[in-house]
Amino acid sequence: MSAVVKPFSVRRLPGFGAIAILTFVLLYLPIVILVFYSFNAGQSQSNFEGFSLRWYAAAFANEQVQEVSVRSLWLAAAAAGIATVLATLAALGTTRVARFPGQTMIYALINQPLMVPEVVTGIALLIFVAFLKVQTGYTGMGYLVASHTAFCIPFAYLPIRARLETLDPTLESAAADLYASPVQAFRFITLPLLVPGILAGFMLSFVISLDTVVITEFVKSAGQDTLPTYMLGQLRRVVTPEMNAIATLFLALSLVIVTAFFLLTRKRG
């Protein structure tokens, strides 16, 4: 009688549970500490002197924090929106067509920001944007929007392309057999099925744009600080729980975005 061979499961490996718990502790314990000390009544980052909302009140009353927060949010929304549209077009152009010479090269070029260190991309953008500023005299926010968009495109492209590759192409063929034009087939068949991938791409691009410091530091002009660059400048001077409060607020915003995305995609499923 042959022995029953159990299928391999990584959970049965020795120490898997302990390593998993340790990994989660290392990932989330610093965030828990940051949130905890954002409610500290004193200025210390090591001694908890009582529960207080004074630093949240200080953050809301800080006009400079309000200014950079609004700038960060609309910059992230604009860059993520443009990047998602361009990434959708790029995904359609590389998945819904027959293979052609150079297709792999196009895929590599789209994902170039993922493979190159961010500081290299930042320096390249610095040189290019500085040249444009000298030639045109324009120093507005358009450069930041364009730079963030270029950096976010691959982050939007990957989930959208992955979603497209799982769609059954026979659905579009069936629509064509029913006399639907290519635009109608895309509007009524492909696009509704692609919405979860588009939302995932937009959300990922939004968070990446909201978080990036290197690209913004190299490209921004005077008076164009975003929240991350503002916080970086403040941390170089003095560290107060106000920074913890601001970080906690944006953490809450990120959780709201992720939860809304989960509920929306689950409803569609």
Determine the number of helices (DSSP H) and then strands (DSSP E) in the chain.
13, 0
Mean pLDDT by 10 residues, the chain (269 residues): 62 78 89 87 79 86 86 92 92 77 78 83 90 88 92 90 81 77 79 85 88 89 86 77 84 80 60
CATH fit for domain 63-268, picks 3.20.20.450, 3.40.50.300, 1.10.3720.10, 3.30.1360.120: 1.10.3720.10
- Nearest-angstrom CA–CA distance, 108 and 94: 12
pLDDT at 3: 56
Do 160 and 197 contact (CB within 8 A), yes or no? yes
pLDDT at 8: 67
- 51 φ/ψ angles, rounded to the nearest 5 degrees: -80, 135
| Strand, coil or helix: 51 | strand
Do 160 and 203 contact (CB within 8 A), yes or no? no
Selection from 256, 230, 253 nearest residue 71 by Cα: 230
pLDDT at 269: 45
